[in-house]
């Protein structure tokens, strides 16, 4: 049966390998690029552990840790094989991210694939309290009683904050604000694009491009001019569209308009717009008018079997 499971896993993963073969092993190169270590530091370790305490909640964190400890302790028991299998599924990921946090930031959501397994291990710990020592048992008991109500309460507060923002947190530091204000921003940019007669909206950020595509009316295409490999499976913009005037939208802190001066005869700043929530600014953006391309607009960094495939304007 383990061999069947392994064969099934390889079959499911095969399309990923095939896509990478066709595109110069792009995602493998990106992910393995994170392995490079220039030096070790404790700078991100506390952030990594703190994010997991917050996302799991402290009580689920304690139960999950207790479940893993029980599985390792019972590894020689007849009934411990299933628990040990669960630990083996998530331990490599947790250990790797622990090491990664010693030289780079680990975003809290990166560990999310392990959460279902950790929940099962935590549930096992909650129902095997007698397996723990007298010193640890009160903490496990407390975590068992509080894990569900605290988890539900925190989730409820998070959803309420996302919907109505009753807690007066500065939007620039509120983690939930990252999802707010996009529809209004898209509408504002769309209005400027129509006023300027823009045939397209150029961007230079994957996240900004994604949000604008999702929230825009799609009457005017949104195109990221760099990192084209991210969009290789999407419909490519028509050359005749990119030959017309357009707009460049950039995060004010990541303005790459200087890169466009060699691609257009005119790059003119026309205004600044903001993404806001309840009247409070979250992020500021800059809009430029682009006229008369004099060089290929889209960066030719998409590859097929190691060969460059440039998009021509």
Q: Which of 137, 164, 191 is the last residue of a domain?
A: 164
Q: Which of 112, 130, 164 is the last residue of a domain?
A: 164
| Residue 57: Cβ within 10 Å count | 21
Strands 201-203 vs 246-251: parallel, antiparallel or unpaired: parallel
DSSP assignments along 71-101, one per residue: HHHTTTSGGGHHHHHHHHHHHHHHHHHHHHT
DSSP 3-state of 255: coil
Closest CA to 142 of 64, 59, 70, 61: 59
Segments in the chain below pLDDT 50: 301-313
| Residue 49: Cβ within 10 Å count | 14
What domain count does the chain have?
2
Q: How far apart are CA 189 and CA 185, in angstroms?
A: 6
Q: Are residues 257 and 145 in the same domain?
A: no
DSSP 3-state of 272: strand
* pTM listed for this prediction: 0.77
DSSP 3-state of 133: coil
DSSP 3-state of 192: helix
Q: Are residues 57 and 141 in the same domain?
A: yes
In a domain, 2, yes or no: no
In a domain, 118, yes or no: yes
Q: Are residues 160 and 248 in the same domain?
A: no
Please report the pLDDT score of residue 311 as a whole number: 37
Q: Are residues 190 and 219 in the same domain?
A: yes
State which residues form the domain around 291.
178-309
Residues contacting residue 5 through CB under 8 Å, at least 6 positions apart:
none
Q: Which of 123, 138, 164 is the last residue of a domain?
A: 164
In a domain, 239, yes or no: yes
Closest CA to 125 of 92, 83, 95: 83
């Amino acid at each position: 049966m383990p061999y069947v499971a392994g064969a099934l896993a390889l079959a499911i993963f095969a399309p990923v390998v095939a896509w990478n073969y066709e595109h110069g092993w792009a995602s493998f190169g990106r992910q393995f690029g994170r392995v490079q270590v220039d030096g070790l530091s404790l700078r991100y370790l506390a952030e990594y552990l703190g994010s997991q305490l917050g996302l799991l909640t402290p009580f689920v964190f304690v139960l999950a840790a207790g479940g893993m400890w029980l599985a390792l302790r019972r590894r020689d028991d007849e009934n411990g094989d299933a628990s040990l299998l669960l630990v083996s599924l998530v331990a490599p990921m947790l250990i790797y991210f622990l090491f990664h946090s010693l030289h780079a930031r680990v975003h809290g959501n990166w560990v999310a694939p392990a959460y279902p397994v950790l929940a099962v291990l935590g549930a096992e710990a909650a129902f095997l309290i007698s397996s723990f020592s007298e010193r640890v048992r009160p903490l496990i008991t407390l975590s068992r009683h509080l894990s569900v109500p605290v988890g539900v309460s925190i989730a409820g507060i998070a959803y309420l904050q996302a919907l109505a923002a009753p807690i007066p947190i500065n939007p620039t530091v509120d983690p939930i604000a990252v999802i707010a204000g996009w529809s209004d921003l898209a509408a504002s940019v769309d209005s400027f694009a129509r006023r300027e007669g823009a045939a397209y909206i150029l961007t230079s950020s994957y996240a900004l491009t994604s949000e604008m595509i999702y929230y825009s009316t799609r009457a005017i295409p949104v195109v990221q001019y760099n990192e084209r490999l991210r969009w290789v499976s999407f419909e490519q913009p028509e050359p005749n569209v990119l030959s017309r005037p357009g707009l460049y939208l950039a995060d004010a802190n990541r303005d790459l308009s200087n890169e466009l001066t060699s691609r257009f005869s005119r790059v003119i700043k026309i205004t600044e717009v903001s993404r806001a929530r309840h009247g409070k600014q979250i992020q500021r953006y800059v809009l430029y008018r682009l006229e008369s391309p004099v060089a290929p607009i889209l960066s030719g960094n998409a590859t097929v079997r190691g060969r460059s495939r440039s998009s021509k304007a």
